[in-house]
Amino acid sequence: AQTVTQSQPEMSVQEAETVTLSCTYDTSENNYYLFWYKQPPSRQMILVIRQEAYKQQNATENRFSVNFQKAAKSFSLKISDSQLGDTAMYFCAFMKHAAQNFVFGPGTRLSVLP
């Protein structure tokens, strides 16, 4: 079974600074998808970024980018120019190709400080 680990339960960053959230996963699959979701205090789950394992290029979405290291089974999220609105829980998720469901990590609570 796949597992997803987020080793940082809580992190904080100063506004406008850069922060990196870590995620590692365990799988024997070669073809899969990885995601970062954001959950602000409103509780709504919001997709931040996704990465297909067959793509070598790291995904980017505006201030959000990932460092995907397939051999190391690592998928970290970098947030540049942090904003107060980035304060949220961040969940890393894994889905193997042709599977039906995601496996989520336990989450990292990020606080952006003014």
Partner 1 sequence: DAGITQSPRHKVTETGTPVTLRCHQTENHRYMYWYRQDPGHGLRLIHYSYGVKDTDKGEVSDGYSVSRSKTEDFLLTLESATSSQTSVYFCAIRGQGATTNNEQFFGPGTRLTVL
Judged by CB, which is closer to partner 1: 43, or 57? 43
Stretch that binds partner 1, among 59-67, 68-76, 78-86, 93-101 (CB under 8 A): 93-101
Contacts of 90 (CB under 8 A, 6+ apart): 6, 21, 36, 37, 38, 39, 48, 77, 107, 108, 109, 110
Q: In a 10 Å sphere around its CB, with 0-12 CB exposed, 13-18 middle and 19+ buried, how is residue 90 labelled? A: buried
- 60 φ/ψ sector (left φ>0, alpha ψ -120 to 50, else beta): beta
The identity of residue 5, as a single letter, is: T
Contact residue for partner 1 among 41, 71, 100, 114 (CB under 8 A): 100
Contact residue for partner 1 among 66, 91, 110, 112 (CB under 8 A): 91
Does the protein bind partner 1 through residue 53 (CB under 8 A)?
A: no
Stretch that binds partner 1, among 22-30, 58-66, 74-82, 96-104 (CB under 8 A): 96-104
Binding footprint of partner 1 on the chain (CB under 8 A): 4, 9, 33, 35, 43-45, 47, 50, 91, 95, 100-102, 104-107
